[in-house]
Chain A
Amino acid sequence: MFNMVGNIFKNLLKKPVTRNYPVSKRNFFKGSRGQIKGVDISLCIFCGICERKCPPTAIIVDKKEKSWEIDPFKCIICGECVDVCPKKCILMEEQYASPSIKKEKHKFKQEIKKAI
């Protein structure tokens, strides 16, 4: 009984445990795996290691076309591609992906230099 009275006073003075969502948002911790945002295409050497290591085969790398493509709906955000990339050019973001109405793939393309 007395325990309860103590708790009531404590709860009157304490801040609420929950967040007032749209006003105050939860901060992500540094290094948390939210989503694969894409690739820094100017650094990519199109080696294709990320494509081979990707467990759900969400990444497709085309060496001829010089393109790098990810299917965010297949991606399981394990972070394996980021770890194995020799150039460290795959970008991981802490914010998780927002919902989307279209099942789009993210494609990044490098301009092919013409021989002079």
Chain B
Amino acid sequence: MPRTIIPFGPQHPVLPEPIHLKLVMQDEEIIEAIPAIGYVHRGLEKLTETKDFNQNVFIVERICGICSFKHALAYCQGMENLMDVEVPDRAEFLRVIWAELHKLHSHLLWLGLLADAFGFESLFMQVWRDREKIMDIMEETAGSRVIISTNQIGGVKRDINEDGLKKVVKVVDELYIDIKNVEKVFLDDYTVKHRLVGVGVLSKEDAFALGTVGPMARASGINEDLRTLGYAAYGKLEIEPIFETDGDSYARTKVRIREVFQSISLVKQAIDKIPEGEINVKVKGNPKGEVISRVEQPRGEALYYMRGNGTKNLDRLRVRTPTFANIPALLKILPGSQLADVPILILTIDPCISCTER
């Protein structure tokens, strides 16, 4: 049987964002996958050089729609380190609360997309219905559903009052029960297991050598979570590391579902321990010098590099996003798998192409 090349993407029902893969096939089996990215490049890194360093917060938020808060968090933390700004305690706890809510809605979105990818329409609807509760509290506390724009250099812009915090606890408690019900379907259902168990196995050695990050690495047994470094208020909260050792699609699903419960617990812990006080401090002067800032995003580790030259414009802002680090792993697990499994394999790395191309 001669080899054929099947183009996959950039427009494909299962892909939320454009990525193109040339799949070299022999019968139904994939021999090689050749990726092509560059469909949504917007030149945001260059744009940040023309704007004021305070305005850049809004630009980096728009790198990614799903983890926008964490992009702003990485940028603000880096700039605060560079300019020696001490952030008030309450602001750090508020940042953790919003960051974990973002992680929750990102993982719920992913679970829905996964259900859609293996053709379980009603499960997809169910998960997204639960996600809507998070979007509502995001709008109520921050003013917008997705790009919440509450971060600024030196703290946060909005405060959540006592009633607001109580409502957040109530909603995440409800969500806990909802997701417990959905978890049974994702982890125990015969059909779902059939599509996930043993599909796209990535060994621990490969995951380490290819530099995978986030849930992808944790599903292969690499126990690394940047939140354990204790940035923002994470140092004052209890974080249990989550990892699985199988390295297949089922393990990746399991890691993300367990992370949903971890995020719910972190939100509740943060609300328990939140102190009273100021929420931001005034920042004076311009940034000078260079700094690297890393945060844990829903998809893995994001790395920010900033260099200031003493004026209000930055010399350089460089972003390395988690999906960029995970694409080599995708190319590793594709060869040898069946064409029908390709949508699930692409989804299990949780691709965010807008992040990758900026």
Contacts and interface: CB of A to CB of B under 8 A. Distances in A.
Do A and B bind? yes
Interface of A: 17, 28-33, 53, 55, 76-80, 83
B293 to A, nearest CB: 20
A85 to B, nearest CB: 14
B139 interface: yes
B84 interface: no
A111 B149 CA distance: 35
A30 B149 CA distance: 16
Given A17-B129, A33-B143, A55-B55, 4 more contacts: A32-B139, A55-B58, A77-B144, A83-B157
Contacts of A80: 55, 58
Contacts of A55: 51, 55, 58-59
Which secondary structure dominates where chain A touches chain B? loop
Interface residues of B, number: 14
Interface string B131-146: 0000010011001100
Contacts of A83: 157
Contact of A32 (B51, B62, B129, B144): B144
Interface of B: 51, 54-55, 58-59, 62, 129, 136, 139-140, 143-144, 149, 157
5 contacts: A29-B143, A32-B143, A55-B59, A79-B143, A83-B157
A30 B54 CA distance: 26
Contacts of A79: 143, 149
A59 B143 CA distance: 21
Given A17-B129, A55-B58, A80-B58, A31 B157 contact: no
| A-B pairs, 4 with minimum CB distance | A29-B140, A55-B55, A55-B58, A33-B143
A80 B129 CA distance: 31
A76 B58 contact: yes
B140 A53 contact: no
B149 A78 contact: yes
Nearest to B136: A29
A2 to B, nearest CB: 14
Contacts of B129: 17
